[in-house]
Structure 1
């Protein structure tokens, strides 16, 4: 039984459409159709029925799907096992992560990793901290990268990096509302808040020996930090964000620090290897890369993303140009 034909069959079964499978996986529709016909001819049975625009598995197709997934899984395991005997790191690496800063943090890091190890395939999945460490999740992954989720100390996780949350706002907002001088002044300001499943994330700030917890007035909540940063850049309020996440916006003048010197405690980024006793070449390469990437001497050379103010209707110059 041809492996490519089984692979084509599973791709069609996954999306219930030959056209959708061809588009998603970048394969000619004619190739998928030919492989499916070859498979059905070999088995002397139809594997799909058409219901409207969708393809539905026949009873034979449902049976084959189970065995085909097992066959291809074993083929991939064999390929990866052979790859481990080679000098280069290769094969699939499955990474789980907390998803607060996917594009700005994990994607950038994994882009740099792929540049160094192009033969390693990556499967990155984001989960909430509450579900990331469930046993069924851990079985699916080779490693977990987490952002101060409270479970990182379990299983000998390695600390890669630390950062602090600080307060930021746009110049336009501060010009309208005034610049707070103390944490008490925040009562007179509007916030853009990050929302956890349990509720808004308080602003935990410390300076010298003093520590305060602030839950400011807010009518903009989001459970995604890019949205929080966007509204801060747009002048909708003060936001509580990690310093790495605002470097470009602060450098461009779209955000400025509020209450400099008041920061959160150090937040840790950690790496936890699921099966340290069965370390693969690619996993070892990934660990060494992470240590290098988060070292002070590392210089990233790749795409970076930020909130760019192409047009801001509150900008007087732009309003004048419109008129």
Structure 2
């Protein structure tokens, strides 16, 4: 097949229309249409159903698209590895992680990383759904559970544990719980039914309070850990948060230290083909350095 036509076909399948594909390729709509017609003539089957609302792949078009997508993903990976031959790490690096971890822990540290490696073109995708690294939807992921795909390299980064936190404003208004039983008299923020936390007993704090007040109701349910963090920070109530979500400059106060919640591991994950990537290597080493600093801070706080 003609590679230029295949490239145009892939762009059209991704965009869903000749017009949008042309904009992405800097080609006119008529030029894109001619390329697709020529490709369909060469394979002797229609690749798209033409509708007023746009284009839909035929069964044969879907087969060709999946193959082309895989080929272009591998070509992109090969290009990345070739670029890694330079002495200094450079080129694009796409990272994906959860909204909470990316927003609170990772993003504030990115400036330091880019100051060390200014030739790396960094992009981040914060999404609680897992992107497909094998299809190069991202180069590397930081995940709160082990990867399910067998062809991915994984490294355990750190173990995270839930603790109970409240803001100074909340404590001033409602008092400081002194013992687990006191939770029954406080406003608790918990995870809602739609939450997808990395542990099964994520509402362990609420369960502790229910032992003393079975008919207790939370002040708020949220399906997102970042939302719970912000609600706690605002003074709405008390919540259970992973320790990484409380940065060094946070005003949140850890309460009831004798109550420790469940723990889970964070993993650094990337495709096997990128095992020798310098960009991934320096980013991994940077994370390990920053995690060591956090561990030291948490250890000092625990011994204070």
Give the TM bin, normalised by the shorter chain. Answer: 0.5 to 0.7
Seen in structure 2, the aligned counterparts of structure 1 residues 187 and 44 have a Cα distance that, compared at 3 Å, is closer
Where in structure 2 are the equivalents of 1:31-110 lying within 5 Å? 31=27, 33=29, 35-40=31-36, 42-43=38-39, 45=41, 47-57=47-57, 61-62=61-62, 64-90=64-90, 97=97, 100-109=100-109
Q: What is aligned with 1:225?
A: 225
1:12 aligns with 2:8: no
Contact 1:90 1:121 in 2 (8 A): no
Alpha-carbon distance between aligned partners in 1 of 2:40 and 2:146, rounded to the nearest angstrom: 55
Q: Give the Cα–Cα distance (whole angstroms) in 2 for the partners of residues 64 and 158 of structure 1.
A: 35
**Alpha-carbon offset, residue 188 of structure 1:** 0.9
Is 2:253 the counterpart of 1:257? yes
Matched length: 273
1:182 corresponds to which residue? 179
- For the residues of structure 2 that align with 1:290 and 1:215, how far apart are their CA atoms? 36
1:284 to 281, 295, 298: 281
Q: Structure 2 residue aligned with 1:203, among 202, 205, 215?
A: 205
Asked whether the equivalents of residues 92 and 123 of structure 1 are also in contact (C-alpha less than 8 Å), the reply is no
Q: Does the aligned pair in 1 maintain the 2:100–2:245 contact within 8 Å?
A: no
TM-score of the superposed pair, with normalisation by structure 2 = 0.64
Using a 3 Å threshold, how does the CA distance of structure 1 residues 185 and 97 change in structure 2: closer, same or farther? Answer: same
1:296 match: secondary structure: helix
* Structure 1 residues 254-287: Cα deviation after superposition (integer angstroms, max 9, x where no partner): xx42536456377654435664995333332232
Q: Is the aligned partner of 1:239 residue 2:233?
A: no
Alpha-carbon deviation of 1:224?
A: 1.1
State the alpha-carbon separation in 2 of the partners of residues 243 and 51 from structure 1. 52
Deviations 1:62-92 (A, max 9, x none): 4543453244234324323422433243566
TM-score (norm 1): 0.61
Counterparts in 2 of 1:43 and 1:146: CA distance versus 1, 3 Å: closer
Contact 1:94 1:140 in 2 (8 A): no
Structure (1 or 2) with the greater strand fraction: 1
The structure-2 alpha-carbon separation of the partners of 1:35 and 1:294, relative to structure 1 and needing over 3 Å to count, comes to farther
Query: By how many angstroms is 1:192 displaced?
Result: 0.3
Change (3 A) 1:201 1:157: farther
SS in 1 for 2:289: helix
Q: Deviations over 1:131-170 (max 9, x none)?
A: 89xxxx68568655344x488xxx9965545665443334
CA–CA separation in structure 1 for the residues paired with 2:275 and 2:26: 42
Contact 2:93–2:120 (CA under 8 A) maintained in structure 1: no
Q: Is the 8 A contact 1:183 1:259 kept in 2?
A: no
Structure 1 residues without counterparts, runs of 5 or longer:
205-212, 298-323
Within 2, Cα distance between the matches of 1:294 and 1:11?
Answer: 40
Unmatched runs of 5 consecutive residues or more in structure 2: 211-215, 295-304
